Amino acid sequence: MKFRFWGVRGSIPSPGPRTARYGGNTTCIEVRTDDGTLIILDGGTGLFPLAQHLLGKLPVHANIFITHSHWDHIHGLPFFTPLFIKGSRVRLHGAHDPVTGHGIEHVMGVQLQNSYFPVSETQMDATIEYRTLDIGVPIEVGDAQVQNVVMNHPVTNLGYRIACRGRSLFFTGDHEPWHNPYAPDDPAFDACEAHLAARQDAIDAAMRGVDALIVDCSYTREEYPSKAGWGHGTFDAAIEMALRVGAKHLYCTHHEPTRSDDDLEAAFADVLARHREHLGGLQVHLAFEGLEVAL
């Protein structure tokens, strides 16, 4: 199994000379299983260059797994060129939205409204299927198994574990470390603490022992207090999580859009310097567009 990053920025695309080394496209990861099954994690703007790459391998049979419905993770979907090519088959997987009551088909339907996009789904020649996932229930995709777990984000966000023939990766999508909003002397503190511990245990179990852990590392620990509640993580929290679950490699992604490549490298170097003595065998990497990893 192998995977490749096509988009590594978060929140909004940030192309330009300041982000040329690591890339300015938003989240999209291509996964190829051992039998060649194509799994795509999220449909940010990185989905468009991936689509252009796939045009040399028609027809395309793709399984796209959406972590959540925020724009930076879906706004490449209408520009996924195989959707317009007869013989291609695209299956979109994702969560039920408890707010709207809709399944994953709503993500495409909203974007293809005439007010926002000039082409309707009826004009797309590919076979398009939708699969709204049951929380915590794994499914088989080709020779791989895809398991999901709910992360911590303002909307339902599924983290995905993909396992194939003894190798595995986990992608968080957007995830913020858990925080108990109650003071320790509040009567609600203990119940909330137990609830958060159970949620964390479920996430840790889904991540346990993965070869590659791909994590939202939007902020530094100094930046985080002013961003608390926005649904994003820190480099430090990602390293702590990777060590706790016994991951072999950690890939830091969802880079803050205002951070230049130089600033990104400086923040990363500072974090590694703090944690270096405690990493053990954990390898920590900064994700960049075009980075391909074979497991």
Asked if 51 and 57 count as a contact pair (C-beta separation under 8 A), the reply is no
List, for residues 95-118, the tens digit of each pLDDT value: 998 888 889 998 898 899 989 999
Write the DSSP string, 63-114: EEE-S--SGGGTTTGGG-GGGGSTT-EEEEEE---TTT---THHHHHHHTST
Element (H, E) at 21: none
Percent of the chain with pLDDT over 70: 100
> Of the candidates 123, 127, 244, which has an alpha carbon nearest to the alpha carbon of residue 178?
244
Asked if 131 and 95 count as a contact pair (C-beta separation under 8 A), the reply is no
Element (H, E) at 202: helix 189-207
List, for residues 35-80, the tens digit of each pLDDT value: 999 999 999 999 999 999 999 989 999 999 999 999 999 999 999 9
What does the pLDDT read at residue 146? 98
Residue 204 exposed, middle or buried by CB count within 10 Å (0-12, 13-18, 19+): middle
Of the given ranges (18-27, 100-109, 172-181), which has the lowest mean pLDDT? 100-109
Burial 65-76 (b: 16+ CB within 10 A, else e): bbbbbbebbbbb
Of the given ranges (72-86, 115-129, 189-203), which has the lowest mean pLDDT? 115-129
Helices then strands, counting H and E runs in the chain, come out as 5, 14
Question: What is residue 48's three-state secondary structure?
Answer: helix
Q: Which residue has the tokens 């993500």?
A: 107
* Overall residue count recorded for the chain in this entry: 295
**Domains of the chain, earliest start first:** 2-294 (3.60.15.10)
Asked if 23 and 129 count as a contact pair (C-beta separation under 8 A), the reply is no
Task: Compute the distance between CA of residue 213 and CA of residue 160 in angstroms, rounded to an integer.
Answer: 10
Task: Compute the distance between CA of residue 230 and CA of residue 245 in angstroms, rounded to an integer.
Answer: 24
DSSP-derived letter for residue 49 is H
What does the pLDDT read at residue 122? 87
Of the given ranges (102-106, 137-141, 214-218, 252-256), which has the lowest mean pLDDT? 102-106
Would the pLDDT of 22 be above 90? yes
The set of residues, in sequence order, having a beta carbon less than 8 Å from that of 57 and lying 6+ positions away, is none
Quote helix, strand, coil % in the chain, to nearest 5.
30, 25, 45
Tell me the pairing of strands 212-216 and 127-132: unpaired
CA distances from 124 to 84, 85, 88, 90 (A): 5, 7, 10, 11
pLDDT band at 198 (very low <50, low <70, confident <90, very high): very high
What does the pLDDT read at residue 99? 80
Give this prediction's pTM. Answer: 0.97
What does the pLDDT read at residue 57? 86
